[in-house]
Structures are given as C-alpha cells and as structure tokens.
C-alpha cells in the first residue's frame, strides 16, 4: 500500500492519536521478565502515581479508586517509599531533571498522608542531584486543596500545581462524571496558591466530551480569562479511554480545538496551532520539566505506584496493578509495585512511541529521532517526509518537524506515517 493510501486509510481511524502501541498485542513479541535496566542512565525523571479520587470520571483510563481509609493510604505510601529507596540503592548516582506527582488525585490524601507523600518527595530530592531546569509539579483538584496542603506544597519547593478542571460547565461535568466547585471557590484557591509563593498554575481542559458544544468551550475560555493561570493544557478525549462509547468525528474535534485555540490566543496565551500546551510566558513551553524532557527529548523516566509507566533507553514497562479489581484489598497486601509488563523494544518501536507522544506537542525533534534510530531519520523516511510536505501536512524548520494547521485535523494519521509497520520492518 502506498503512502497516499495509507494516509487515507488512517485519516478517520480513531486508534491513531497520541496512543502507542495501538493494542497491547503489538508488543507481545518484545515482552521480557524483570525490570528495566537503567545502568549508565545518569539523567532521568521520577513520577509517583496516587490512584485515589473523590469522584471517578466516566472517561478516565488510569488506575484509580475512590479515596480509601487513612490506613490504606499509609499502606500505599509505604510501598512507594520502599520502591523508591530500592531504586536509588541500585542507581545511587542519578540526576533528576523532573519529578511529577499525579494520579488520580494526590491532594485527595488525608492531611497526614499528604504530608507523608511530600516527605517522600523531599527525601528523594535531598538524596540526588538536580538539573538546573528541574521544575517539579503536582496534580490537584480545587475541592481537595486546603490552605494546609498548599503550605506543604510550597514548603516542599514544588512550584507548579496542575488542576484537572476539564470543563467549567455544569451540564458537561454532569454528563461526564465530573464534580467541580463554584467559580468563586476556584478563584479563591488560585489566589491562595499564589499567596504561598507557588509560581505556576496549570489548568487542564478537555474537548470531545459527551454533549459538549462550542458554546461550552466559549464558557471555558471565559473561565480562563477570570482565573488567568500561567499555563493551559488541552486534552482531546480519545477512544481508548475506558467506559466511553460515544466518539466525536475528527472534524468535530478539530472545530473544538480551533475554538479553544482562537479563544486562548486572544487572551495572550502562546502556542503553535496543533500544540496542546499554552503559556502566558513566551519563553515557557507550558510543561513541567518531567513532561518537557519526556515529550520533547524522550529522556528516560521511572514511575512508582500502581500501574505506573517507566521508560529506559531500551524499553518500556508497566507496574503491577493495571488489571487488579479489588484495589483496597490488594493495597493492604502489597509491599511493593514492581514492573510486571516489561518490553525490550527495538529502535523502530521506541521511535514510534516518541512520535505518538510528540503528537501532543504537534512537533518532534529530528535530532532526537536520529538518536533513537541510530540512523538518519530524514533518509529512512524520505518518502513520507516528501509526501507530507507536498500535501501541506508538515513543515521542516531546522531540527523540528512540525504539524501544520491542515495536517492537525488528521494528526494521528500524519504522525503514524513515521511508525508504519511496513517501513519499520525494513530498518
């Protein structure tokens, strides 16, 4: 099948987005026993997954559960501390370029356990070296963030808080299992965060939600105007998200993104069309350093907690817990969350993963692709590059391959041309 037909075949295939592999079976030949090897990997990021939430959104694809008892929270944090210490004992000379705490909702922990979580964070950063651009971040919801927790975040030295708002419209929230407080309360929380010296607030918004309209998006933009956070991240609802059966077309999703883009840029947020991160600061990419190094530079990372993902220079793994159903009982019994799905991946599969992640940002580095392939990306994919440029789907500017406005409507089909299995099989 030629490139034009491959692209036409994939244009409306909902599997082609920012997810890779398209199914777990695709990586089955690369599965191995044991943990990833980080020997010789001196710079990486850490991620801690806290799977507890006060409410469970219908569309969420992550391992999560309703907030359990304080006792179960403690069990979970004890296992996290054990796993981090074990890793640092094995790799004592690492330098961290990022550290994100996500979920779930980390701030849903009780006060005592939340303080313990931040103690774990502080123990790590006091034990390792940090890069100059190290910028840790923690995820939160407005209703779980008290003055006490904000002061703990500030004292720990975390300078970025990311809120999963998703939508400010009550009807959209109700249709998607979301619960958010009043705009007045959210505004008060934002003021409290800044008053405690935390420099950056990011707000996540989603498009493609059930029964969401362009008018709803206008309301979200008006909400952003009121709050004036430093950063905005847009997420497209994707078909791989669990328990979600109604899908928007590529054309509908494009219109939603365009509505957000036009509204946010009028509020003087900076972004290229096709990029999912927006920032008030022209020199800021709208990302924590963990996400920046992971998405843009494909720097290795280690994830801790239930079903957390990790990446070494040669593979990707997923921790225990992805398929567990009785999570409370499981957490009470588990003393560790080791990797149970570890994949040693050939260079073309690592490139495919990088391409899929880069789709969030609408841009990839050719130098990073060369490093992953250990070959000349532009030579290997010359036909694909030429096709996409002639069709006006991408632009090449120096080291960057960037999606165009025309290409973004079918960005999954565009980026997937560079991990086509037929081409990859010839490497």
The answer to whether residues 13 and 115 belong to one domain is: no
- pLDDT tens, residue by residue, 250-259: 999 999 999 9
Query: In this predicted structure, what is the pLDDT of residue 240?
Result: 56
234 conformational bin, left if phi > 0, alpha if psi -120 to 50, beta if neither? beta
The answer to whether residues 250 and 375 belong to one domain is: no
The answer to whether residues 129 and 93 belong to one domain is: yes
Does a structural domain hold residue 162?
A: yes
Residue 142: CA atoms inside 13 Å, Cβ hemisphere, count?
A: 23
**Domain endpoint, select from 270, 296, 322:** 296
Tokens of 62: 């992550």
Please tell me the distance from the alpha carbon of residue 411 to that of residue 425, in angstroms, as a whole number: 23
Please tell me the distance from the alpha carbon of residue 307 to that of residue 338, in angstroms, as a whole number: 9
Does a structural domain hold residue 8?
A: yes
Query: In this predicted structure, what is the pLDDT of residue 420?
Result: 58
Please tell me the distance from the alpha carbon of residue 373 to that of residue 40, in angstroms, as a whole number: 19
Query: In this predicted structure, what is the pLDDT of residue 166?
Result: 94
Tokens of 158: 């975390």
User: What is the CATH number for 259?
Assistant: 3.80.30.20
Question: Considering only CA atoms, which of 172, 114, 170 is closest in space to residue 145?
Answer: 114
Query: Is the pTM of the predicted complex or chain greater than 0.85?
Result: yes
Tokens of 247: 């899908």
The answer to whether residues 381 and 264 belong to one domain is: no
The answer to whether residues 191 and 238 belong to one domain is: yes
DSSP 283-314: T--SS-HHHHHHHHH---EEEESTT-EEEETT
Helix locations, 196-346, DSSP H = 214-227, 250-266, 289-297, 327-333
At 154, give phi and psi (nearest 5°). -65, -45
Tokens of 273: 């069309």
In which element (H, E) is residue 403 found?
Answer: strand 400-403
**Number of residues assigned to the chain:** 427
Does a structural domain hold residue 347?
A: no
Task: Give the pLDDT of the chain (427 residues) as one tens digit per residue.
Answer: 689 999 999 998 888 889 899 888 899 999 999 999 999 999 999 999 999 988 877 777 777 888 899 999 999 999 999 999 999 999 999 999 999 999 999 999 999 999 999 999 999 999 999 999 999 999 999 999 999 999 999 999 999 999 999 999 999 988 888 888 899 999 999 999 999 999 999 999 999 998 999 999 999 999 999 999 999 999 999 865 445 556 789 999 999 999 999 999 999 999 999 999 999 999 999 999 999 999 999 999 999 999 999 999 999 999 987 766 678 878 888 899 999 999 999 999 999 999 999 999 999 999 999 999 999 999 999 999 999 999 999 999 999 999 999 999 999 999 999 985 544 444 3
Please tell me the distance from the alpha carbon of residue 222 to that of residue 298, in angstroms, as a whole number: 35
Does a structural domain hold residue 286?
A: yes
The answer to whether residues 122 and 265 belong to one domain is: yes
The answer to whether residues 291 and 235 belong to one domain is: yes
Helix locations, 33-69, DSSP H = none
- Domain containing residue 380: 3-23+364-424
Question: Considering only CA atoms, which of 360, 330, 254 is closest in space to residue 20?
Answer: 360
Query: In this predicted structure, what is the pLDDT of residue 321?
Result: 78
Packing angle between helix 70-90 and helix 111-127, nearest 10 degrees?
10
Query: In this predicted structure, what is the pLDDT of residue 327?
Result: 82
The answer to whether residues 136 and 254 belong to one domain is: yes
Does a structural domain hold residue 358?
A: no
The answer to whether residues 56 and 19 belong to one domain is: no
Does a structural domain hold residue 415?
A: yes
The answer to whether residues 75 and 160 belong to one domain is: yes
**Domain endpoint, select from 281, 296, 311:** 296
Contact (Cβ atoms closer than 8 angstroms) between residue 80 and residue 304:
yes
**Domain endpoint, select from 252, 271, 296:** 296
The answer to whether residues 8 and 62 belong to one domain is: no
Does a structural domain hold residue 118?
A: yes
Please tell me the distance from the alpha carbon of residue 280 to that of residue 392, in angstroms, as a whole number: 29
Residue 286: CA atoms inside 13 Å, Cβ hemisphere, count?
A: 20
User: What is the CATH number for 7?
Assistant: 1.10.10
The answer to whether residues 10 and 88 belong to one domain is: no
CB count within 10 Å of CB 313 equals 17
Does a structural domain hold residue 289?
A: yes
Tokens of 160: 């970025």
Q: How many domains does the chain fold into?
A: 2
- pLDDT tens, residue by residue, 386-396: 999 999 999 99
DSSP label of 402: E
Count Cβ neighbours within 10 Å for each residue of 99-112 and write b for 16 or more, e otherwise: bbbbbbbbbbbeee
């Amino acid at each position: 099948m030629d490139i034009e037909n491959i692209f036409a075949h994939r244009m409306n295939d909902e599997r082609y987005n920012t997810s890779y592999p398209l199914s777990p079976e695709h990586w089955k030949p690369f599965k191995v026993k044991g943990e990833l090897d980080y020997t010789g990997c001196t710079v990486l990021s850490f991620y801690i997954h806290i799977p507890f939430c006060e409410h469970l959104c219908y569309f969420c694809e992550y391992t999560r559960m309703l907030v359990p008892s304080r006792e179960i929270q403690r069990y979970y944090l004890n296992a996290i501390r054990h796993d981090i210490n074990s890793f640092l004992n094995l790799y004592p000379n690492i330098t961290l370029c990022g550290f994100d705490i996500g979920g779930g909702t980390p701030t849903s922990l009780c006060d005592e356990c939340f303080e313990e979580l931040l103690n774990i964070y502080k123990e790590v950063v006091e034990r390792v070296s940090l890069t100059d651009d190290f910028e840790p971040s923690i995820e939160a919801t407005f209703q779980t963030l008290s003055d006490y927790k904000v002061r703990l975040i500030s004292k720990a030295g975390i300078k970025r808080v990311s809120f999963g708002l998703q939508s400010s419209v009550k009807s959209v929230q109700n249709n998607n299992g979301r619960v958010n407080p009043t705009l007045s309360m959210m505004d008060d929380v934002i003021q409290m965060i800044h008053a405690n010296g935390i420099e950056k607030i990011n707000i996540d918004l989603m498009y493609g939600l059930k029964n969401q309209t362009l008018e709803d998006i206008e309301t979200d933009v008006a909400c952003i105007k009121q709050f004036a956070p430093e950063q905005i991240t847009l997420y497209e609802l994707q078909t791989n998200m669990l328990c979600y059966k109604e899908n928007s077309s590529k054309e509908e999703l494009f219109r939603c993104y365009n509505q957000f883009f036009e509204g946010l840029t009028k509020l003087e947020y900076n972004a290229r069309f096709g990029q999912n991160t927006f920032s008030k600061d022209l020199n800021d990419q709208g990302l924590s350093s963990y996400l920046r190094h992971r998405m843009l530079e494909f720097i290795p990372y280690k994830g801790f907690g239930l079903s957390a993902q990790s990446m070494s220079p040669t593979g990707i793994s997923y921790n225990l817990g992805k398929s567990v159903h009785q999570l409370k009982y499981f957490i009470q019994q588990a003393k560790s969350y080791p990797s149970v799905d570890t994949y040693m991946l050939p260079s073309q599969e690592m490139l495919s993963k990088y391409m899929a992640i880069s789709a969030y940002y609408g841009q990839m580095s050719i130098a990073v692709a060369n490093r992953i392939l250990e070959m000349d990306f532009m030579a290997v994919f010359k036909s694909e590059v030429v096709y996409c440029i002639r069709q006006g789907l991408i632009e090449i500017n120096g080291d960057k391959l960037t999606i165009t406005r025309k290409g973004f409507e079918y960005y999954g089909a565009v980026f997937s041309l560079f991990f086509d299995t037929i081409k990859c099989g010839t490497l």
